[in-house]
C-alpha cells in the first residue's frame, strides 16, 4: 500500500510529500537497512525509514526534485519490489497485495524448510556416524550425500546466495554473506572431494591413507541452511500479523447506512454517504459515520473510542462517532465527517504511523556480520596463501584448500545465528506457559530496559464495568429493602448502572420481581411502579425536579470526591436513600504498581475521565503522575512525550482507543480480556488479564537477555579460538590443526552448547 500526504514547511513555504510505501522481497533486517540507506542518499529525500516488521517504508521527499516513480526505481534496483493497493483492500486480506505477499513468503519458506529438513536428516545421520556404522560407510556414500544436499543448496538456500550477491553489489556484508560463503565453501569442497577422492585421501595433512572415501562436509552446509530457514519461517509468521490490527479497526465500521431522502429511508453503502446527509440509527446498531444529533435522545457506548465503560447520554446538537454503538433510543443525526475524516479513520492512521515510525532494529548478528564477515574472508585467504607457500610442494594446494575451508566452516554463523533466536524461542515459550504471549524477540529484549510504564485506567487498572459499592439508607427503610426496591425498578433498564444494582441484589439472594410500570428519562433517571409503590431513581437534579428533598443524605459529596456516581432513590415521594456506583480497582493493581515502582519504573495513569475522578483512583493506587481527560487521538502523543524525554516506555491497555498508544510505545502490553485491536497492536498480551504477569514478563526478559549475552560470549570465544587453530596458528609449536571434518564437529558442539544454555530458561 502507498499513500501520500502533502505538507508545507512554515519557514521555507516549500511543500513536501510524506509517502508510505509497502515493499516486498525483504528477508531480514539487513534488507531493510540497505533499502533505508539507499533511499536516504537519494536526492530530494528528507527522511526515510524502513520497517522490516511491517514491510513498509516511510518517506518524506521534495516533489520538485524526485517523485514516487524514481523512489520505486531505487527500491527495485536493489532487487526488491513496491506493492500498490487501495486503502479498502486492507479489509480483505485476499485483496491486499502486502497480505498476499506475506502469505506467499510464509508458504515458500515453509516449503523450503520442509524440503531442506527432509534431505538434511539422512545426511546428518550419515555424518554423525563418523564411519563407525558399516552400512553407512559404503564406497558410494559421498555420492549419495551429494545427491541429497544439492537440492538443499540450489533450491532451499538460493535466497541466501541471492542476498549475498545483492550485498556484494552494494558493498555490504551481512548474515546472508556468511551463510553463503560458509555453505558454498563446504559444499564445493565436498563436491571436489567426492569427484576426486584419491587426490584428497593421499595428500591431506593428518588424513589416514586407508580410507576409501575422502572426508566430506555436506552436512555442515545443509544443517546451517535448515536451521536458518527455521528462524526465517518463525519470523515470517510474526510479520503476517502486523496488518491485522489495521484490518480489524477498519472492519469495525458498518458497511451500510440508512439515509433519509425525501422522508424515505434508504439503505446505501457507506461509501455513498455525503456530508450533510440525514441518517437514522436504531437501538443496538453501530453509527456509520461521524455526525451531530438532529432529533431524539439516546445513550451511546463510546468505549471503543474513549475506553470508558459508562454509556454517554446524547441529545440534539451533540456529536456522535462512527463505529460506536447506539444503546437505547432511536435517533436521527446529520453526517459531518465521512471516509478518512472520521475519528475511527484517524485512529487507523495513528496506528499505521506508530507502527511505521519504529526504526528497523538490525539484529546483533547482522551488525557483527558486517565486520566479522570481511575479517573471516581475509583470514581464510591469508591461511590459503600461507599454507600454499610453506607446505611441501606435493601437498601445497591440498593443504591450503583444506585449511581455507576449515576456517570458513568453523566461522560459519551457526552458533552466532542461534545465540539470540534459541533464547528467544525458549523465552517466549516459557512466557506462553505463564499466560504471556510475546510477539517477537525485540519486545522480549526490550522489556527489561523499561523506564516508564503507562496504564490505561478503565478496564486495565479497574474492572471496566460499574459495580454497586455503597448503600446509604434513610432512617425509615433498611439497606436490604432499599436495594431490593431499587433492583426491581432498575430491572427494566439495560443501562450498565442498572445492571450493577441488579447484580448486587442477585448476589445477596434478593427476589427481583414486581415491576409493574417503567419509564426511563435519558440522561436523568427513571420512574417505575414497584409492588404498587412509585419509585424514582436518578441524579440530584432529577430528584429535586420531583420536589423531593435530599438534604439528609450527607455522603453524596464524599462519593463524588472519590470518583463514584451517586444515584438517589425516592419511594412514594419520600427520599429513601442513595446508591453509589464505581468502576472498582482490580484487586492486584496496587501490589503490581508498588512492585514496578520498586523496580525503578515510573508509573503513569492515563484516562479520558475528568481530573477529579482520575485523581481519586490515582491516590488509591499511589500513582503520582496522571494524564486525565486525554482524547483517544492524544494517547499516542502522551507516549511520545515520555519517549522524547529519553524514557523507554511501555503502554498497558485493553481498548480500541488504546491501539495507537500501544503501537507507539516501545513495548505495547494488552490484556487478553480486552479488544482484538488492542491485542493486535501490542507486542505482548496477558492472556488471563492479570496485571501480575507484567512483573513476570520483566523478570523473564532479564533472564532471557542474560542467556543471550552468555550465548554470544561463548559463540565469539569459540570463533576466536576455532579460527586461530583452523588457520594453523598453533601448528608450528603444537602440531594442532582442524580438518574440515573436525571443524564441522566443533561447530556442531558450539551450536549444541548454545541451545543447551538457552534451554536452561525452561527450568528457571
Q: What Cα–Cα distance (Å) separates residue 343 from each residue in 3, 317, 340, 638, 656?
A: 19, 18, 8, 18, 12
Cα angle 655, 661, 666 (rounded to 5 degrees) comes to: 125
Cα gap 425→237, rounded to integer Å: 13
Helix H, strand E, coil C: the string for 673-733 is CCCHHHHHHCCEEECCCCCHHHHHHHHHHHHHHHHHHHHHHHHHHHHHHHHHHHHCCCHHH
In 3D, which of 370, 377, 350 has the Cα closest to residue 29?
Answer: 370
Find cell 432498575 and name the residue. 490
Cα gap 618→601, rounded to integer Å: 16
Please say whether the beta carbons of 659 and 353 come within 8 A.
Answer: no
Instruction: Kindly give, in sequence order, each residue whose CB lies less than 8 Å from that of residue 425, ignoring residues fewer than 6 positions away.
Output: 234, 758
> Where do runs of H (alpha helix) occur along 454-610?
479-490, 496-507, 540-545, 556-561, 589-598
Task: Give the number of other Cβ atoms within 10 Å of residue 610's Cβ.
Answer: 11
Distance of CA 147 to the CA centre of its chain: 42
Cα gap 15→492, rounded to integer Å: 59
Cα gap 339→628, rounded to integer Å: 29
Q: What Cα–Cα distance (Å) separates residue 116 from each residue in 221, 223, 225, 385?
A: 11, 8, 8, 35
Handedness of CA 488, 491, 493, 496 (dihedral sign): positive
Extended beta strands in 44-167, E state = 45-51, 56-61, 81-83
Catalytic residue among 20, 277, 456, 609: 456
Cα gap 202→613, rounded to integer Å: 87
User: In 3-state terms, what secondary structure has residue 630?
Assistant: coil
Cα gap 178→374, rounded to integer Å: 9
Cell numbers at 690, concatenated: 492479570
Cα gap 606→629, rounded to integer Å: 8
Cα gap 606→650, rounded to integer Å: 12
Cα gap 349→98, rounded to integer Å: 17
Cα gap 228→239, rounded to integer Å: 17
Please say whether the beta carbons of 252 and 265 come within 8 A.
Answer: no
- Measured in residues, the chain has a length of 764
In 3D, which of 500, 502, 423 has the Cα closest to residue 469?
Answer: 500
Provide the edge-to-edge strand list for the sheet that holds 452-456.
436-438, 684-686, 667-671, 649-653, 452-456, 602-606, 625-627
456: annotated active-site residue: yes
Find cell 481527560 and name the residue. 629
Cα gap 99→721, rounded to integer Å: 45
User: In 3-state terms, what secondary structure has residue 737?
Assistant: coil
Instruction: Kindly give, in sequence order, each residue whose CB lies less than 8 Å from that of residue 209, ignoring residues fewer than 6 positions away.
Output: 201, 202
Cell numbers at 65, concatenated: 526534485
Instruction: Kindly give, in sequence order, each residue whose CB lies less than 8 Å from that of residue 446, ignoring residues fewer than 6 positions away.
Output: 648, 666, 667, 683, 701
Please say whether the beta carbons of 109 and 116 come within 8 A.
Answer: no
Active site residues: 456
Amino acid at each position: 500500500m502507498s499513500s501520500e500526504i502533502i505538507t508545507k514547511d512554515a519557514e521555507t513555504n516549500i511543500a513536501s510529500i510524506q509517502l508510505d510505501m509497502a515493499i516486498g522481497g525483504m528477508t531480514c533486517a539487513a534488507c531493510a537497512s540497505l533499502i533505508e540507506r539507499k533511499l536516504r542518499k537519494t536526492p530530494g529525500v528528507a527522511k526515510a525509514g524502513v520497517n522490516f516488521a511491517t514491510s513498509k517504508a516511510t518517506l518524506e521527499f521534495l516533489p520538485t526534485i524526485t517523485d514516487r516513480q524514481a523512489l520505486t526505481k531505487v527500491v527495485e534496483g536493489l532487487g526488491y519490489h513496491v506493492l500498490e493497493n487501495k486503502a479498502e483492500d486492507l479489509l480483505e486480506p485476499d485483496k491486499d497485495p502486502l497480505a498476499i505477499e506475506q502469505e506467499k513468503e510464509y508458504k515458500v519458506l515453509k516449503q523450503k524448510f520442509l524440503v531442506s529438513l527432509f534431505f538434511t536428516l539422512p545426511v546428518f545421520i550419515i555424518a554423525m556416524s563418523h564411519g563407525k556404522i558399516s552400512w553407512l560407510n559404503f564406497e558410494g556414500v559421498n555420492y549419495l550425500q551429494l545427491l541429497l544436499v544439492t537440492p538443499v543448496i540450489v533450491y532451499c538456500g538460493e535466497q541466501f546466495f541471492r542476498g549475498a550477491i545483492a550485498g556484494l553489489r552494494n558493498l555490504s556484508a551481512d548474515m546472508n554473506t556468511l551463510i553463503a560463503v560458509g555453505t558454498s565453501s563446504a559444499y564445493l569442497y565436498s563436491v571436489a572431494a567426492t569427484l576426486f577422492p584419491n587426490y584428497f585421501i593421499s595428500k591431506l595433512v593428518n588424513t589416514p591413507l586407508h580410507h576409501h572415501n575422502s572426508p566430506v562436509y555436506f552436512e555442515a552446509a545443509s544443517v546451517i541452511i535448515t536451521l536458518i530457514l527455521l528462524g526465517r519461517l518463525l519470523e515470517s509468521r510474526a510479520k503476517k500479523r502486523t496488518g491485522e490490527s489495521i484490518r480489524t479497526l477498519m472492519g469495525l465500521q458498518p458497511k451500510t447506512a440508512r439515509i433519509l431522502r425525501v422522508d424515505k429511508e434508504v439503505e446505501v453503502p457507506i461509501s455513498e454517504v455525503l456530508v450533510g446527509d440525514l441518517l437514522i440509527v436504531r437501538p443496538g446498531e453501530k453509527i456509520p459515520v461521524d455526525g451531530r444529533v438532529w432529533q431524539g435522545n439516546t445513550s451511546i457506548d463510546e468505549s471503543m473510542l474513549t475506553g470508558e465503560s459508562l454509556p454517554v447520554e446524547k441529545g440534539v446538537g451533540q456529536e456522535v462517532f462512527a463505529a460506536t454503538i447506539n444503546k437505547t433510543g432511536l435517533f436521527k443525526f446529520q453526517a459531518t465527517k465521512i471516509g478518512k475524516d472520521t475519528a475511527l479513520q484517524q485512529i487507523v492512521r495513528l496506528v499505521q504511523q506508530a507502527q511505521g515510525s519504529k526504526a528497523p532494529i538490525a539484529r546483533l548478528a547482522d551488525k557483527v556480520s558486517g565486520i566479522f564477515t570481511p575479517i573471516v574472508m581475509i583470514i581464510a585467504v591469508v591461511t590459503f596463501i600461507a599454507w600454499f607457500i610453506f607446505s611441501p610442494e606435493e601437498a601445497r594446494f591440498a593443504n591450503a584448500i583444506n585449511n581455507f575451508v576449515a576456517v570458513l566452516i568453523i566461522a560459519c554463523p551457526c552458533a552466532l545465528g542461534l545465540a539470540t533466536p534459541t533464547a528467544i524461542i525458549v523465552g517466549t515459550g516459557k512466557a506462553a506457559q505463564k499466560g504471556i504471549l510475546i510477539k517477537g524477540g525485540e519486545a522480549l529484549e526490550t522489556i527489561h530496559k523499561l523506564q516508564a510504564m503507562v496504564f490505561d485506567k478503565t478496564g486495565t487498572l479497574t474492572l471496566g464495568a460499574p459495580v454497586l459499592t455503597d448503600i446509604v439508607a434513610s432512617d425509615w427503610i433498611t439497606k436490604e429493602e432499599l436495594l431490593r426496591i431499587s433492583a426491581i425498578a432498575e430491572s427494566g433498564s439495560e443501562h450498565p448502572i442498572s445492571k450493577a444494582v441488579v447484580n448486587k441484589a442477585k448476589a445477596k439472594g434478593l427476589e427481583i420481581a414486581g415491576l409493574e410500570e417503567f419509564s426511563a428519562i435519558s440522561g436523568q433517571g427513571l420512574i417505575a411502579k414497584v409492588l404498587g409503590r412509585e419509585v424514582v431513581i436518578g441524579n440530584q437534579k432529577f430528584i429535586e425536579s420531583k420536589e423531593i428533598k435530599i438534604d439528609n443524605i450527607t455522603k453524596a459529596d464524599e462519593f463524588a470526591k472519590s470518583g463514584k456516581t451517586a444515584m438517589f432513590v425516592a419511594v412514594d415521594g419520600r427520599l429513601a436513600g442513595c446508591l453509589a456506583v464505581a468502576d472498582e480497582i482490580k484487586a492486584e493493581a496496587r501490589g503490581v504498581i508498588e512492585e514496578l515502582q520498586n523496580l525503578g519504573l515510573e508509573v503513569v495513569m492515563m484516562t479520558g475521565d475528568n481530573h477529579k475522578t482520575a485523581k481519586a483512583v490515582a491516590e488509591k493506587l499511589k500513582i503520582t503522575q496522571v494524564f486525565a481527560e486525554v482524547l483517544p487521538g492524544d494517547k499516542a502523543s502522551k507516549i511520545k512525550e515520555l519517549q522524547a524525554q529519553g524514557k523507554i516506555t511501555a503502554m498497558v491497555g485493553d481498548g480500541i482507543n488504546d491501539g495507537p498508544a500501544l503501537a507507539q510505545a516501545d513495548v505495547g502490553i494488552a490484556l487478553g480480556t480486552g479488544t482484538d485491536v488492542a491485542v493486535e497492536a501490542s507486542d505482548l498480551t496477558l492472556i488471563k488479564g492479570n496485571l501480575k504477569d507484567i512483573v513476570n514478563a520483566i523478570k523473564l526478559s532479564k533472564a532471557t537477555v542474560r542467556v543471550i549475552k552468555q550465548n554470544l560470549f561463548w559463540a565469539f570465544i569459540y570463533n576466536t579460538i576455532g579460527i586461530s587453530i583452523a588457520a594453523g596458528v598453533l601448528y608450528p609449536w603444537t602440531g594442532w590443526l582442524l580438518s574440515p571434518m573436525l571443524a564441522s564437529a566443533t561447530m556442531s558442539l558450539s551450536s549444541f552448547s548454545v541451545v543447551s544454555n538457552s534451554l536452561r530458561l525452561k527450568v528457571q
